[in-house]
């Protein structure tokens, strides 16, 4: 006698119908809502910022048990967008906010970025006032380490300012916003003016050609002064007066400022760009003696080849067991495509690394658990048109 599933009771059938009706109603509500709630594999949360570029939302990645991310929208016609994506996707550093994925819809481009809950450095300074020198030493060392890494990639940021420096939950620096970044050749001068006036170097304001590293070093000097004093060194209500002060004036140095900090600021704010120190010299400066060496050590590390660590190999095997085509995952990650598979991989690896660190702290050595894919059709791993929803995909890693 053939065996089969027992027939469902009337109550079970009714329950299934109610569940199906509720699911349809949820979809109809989402389709008719003017507010976007899903982009790709991400659920949009609250709006956390807006600007001329678009809006910024808190989001959750549905395939990694709701890993938190930030989704930044931008219009397709933004002239700096392609360059920002091209450069940002190559930057993987502990003090640079990670770009996980790029989602293209009919009218918008969405950047999926690392979530940093600790506020912008500007907001942090407004809330807390000038910072104590120990905190400044740590924050500034991390920032210089990140900028040094960018220049080691032969790129210049050109918009270093407090608003483009985020803090994570441990108040570690995460540099962001690479809209004005461009590559450069060593010893070749640049000539495009960009950035924010009160952080701009004199040679840039004068319309002269400039050394890439020197304009970023000037901005670092402005930031260091601001962290210690609580106000910008060159900032007037009239922009023309601000420019004049940058070109001809000197900051006011206060009695509470450490002597070594003043010395470093003066070096960074040298009117002659050739007198400004390089990044290695800044990290070696006596003022940063407590934290500079750690940043130099990070810069000296050669990262292992992709997919070569045990954690990565184990994660790949778990994905294969869950039915994922890992050859495509590897291909997309190596090509830096920043698509849905590469974004999923990056978020999953970060999650497993955090788990590994916690287990190491607790003295445990647990094996990685399986990846659970309840329903994961291939289309759910592809970017979807704006406003569409992922109706049947429920995945948890």
Please give the full DSSP string across 21-61, using - where no structure is assigned: HHHHHHHHHHHH-SS--EETTEEEEEEEEEETTEEEEEEEE
365 marked as binding residue? no
Would you say 332 and 320 are in contact if contact means Cβ atoms under 8 Å apart?
A: no
CA distances from 367 to 290, 310, 311 (A): 37, 12, 10
280 marked as binding residue? no
Beta bridge partners of 155: 183
**Quick one: 152 exposed, middle or buried, by C-beta within 10 A (0-12, 13-18, 19+)?**
exposed
Q: How far apart are CA 124 and CA 320, in angstroms?
A: 44
Which entry of 35, 119, 159, 255 is annotated as an active-site residue?
159
3-state secondary structure 76-118: CCCCCHHHHHHHHCCCCCCCECCEEEEEECCCEEEEEEECCCC
Is 280 labeled as catalytic in the residue annotation?
no
161 marked as binding residue? no
266 marked as binding residue? no
135 marked as binding residue? no
Binding site as annotated, residues for ATP: 72, 76, 163-164, 177
Catalytically annotated residues: 159
């Amino acid at each position: 006698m053939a065996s089969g599933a027992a027939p469902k009771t009337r109550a079970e059938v009714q329950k299934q119908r109610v569940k199906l009706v509720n699911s349809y109603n949820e979809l109809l509500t989402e389709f008719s809502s003017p507010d976007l709630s899903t982009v790709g594999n991400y659920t949009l949360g609250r709006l956390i910022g807006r600007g001329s570029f678009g809006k910024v939302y808190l989001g959750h990645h549905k395939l990694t048990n709701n890993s938190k991310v930030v989704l930044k929208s931008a219009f397709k016609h933004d002239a700096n967008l392609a360059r920002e994506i091209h450069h940002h996707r190559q930057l993987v550093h502990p003090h640079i906010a990670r770009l996980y994925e790029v989602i293209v819809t009919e009218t918008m481009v969405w950047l999926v970025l690392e979530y940093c809950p600790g506020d912008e450095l500007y907001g942090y300074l407004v809330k807390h006032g000038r910072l104590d020198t120990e905190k400044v030493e740590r924050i500034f060392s991390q920032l210089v380490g990140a900028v040094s890494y960018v220049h080691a990639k032969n790129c210049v940021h050109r918009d270093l300012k407090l608003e483009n420096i985020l803090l994570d939950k441990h108040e570690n620096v995460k540099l962001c916003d690479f809209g004005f970044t461009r590559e450069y050749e060593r010893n070749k001068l640049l000539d495009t003016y960009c950035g924010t006036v009160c952080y701009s170097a004199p040679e840039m304001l004068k319309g002269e050609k400039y050394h890439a590293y020197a304009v970023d070093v000037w901005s670092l000097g402005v930031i260091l002064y601001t962290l210690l004093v609580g106000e910008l060194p060159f900032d007037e209500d009239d922009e023309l007066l601000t420019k004049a002060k940058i070109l001809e004036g000197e900051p006011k140095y206060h009695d509470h400022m450490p002597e070594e900090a003043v010395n470093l600021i003066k070096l960074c704010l040298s009117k002659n760009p050739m007198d400004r120190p390089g990044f290695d010299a800044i990290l070696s400066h006596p003022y940063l003696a407590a934290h500079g060496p750690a940043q130099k050590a990070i810069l000296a590390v050669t990262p292992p080849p992709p997919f070569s660590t045990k954690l990565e190999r184990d994660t790949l095997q778990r994905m294969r067991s869950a039915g994922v085509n890992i050859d495509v995952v590897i291909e997309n990650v190596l090509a830096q495509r920043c698509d849905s598979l590469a974004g999923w991989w990056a978020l999953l690896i970060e999650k497993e690394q955090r788990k590994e660190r916690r287990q190491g702290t607790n003295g445990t050595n647990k094996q990685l658990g399986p990846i659970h894919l309840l329903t994961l059709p291939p289309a759910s791993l592809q970017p979807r048109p704006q406003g569409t929803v992922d109706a049947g995909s429920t995945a948890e890693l």
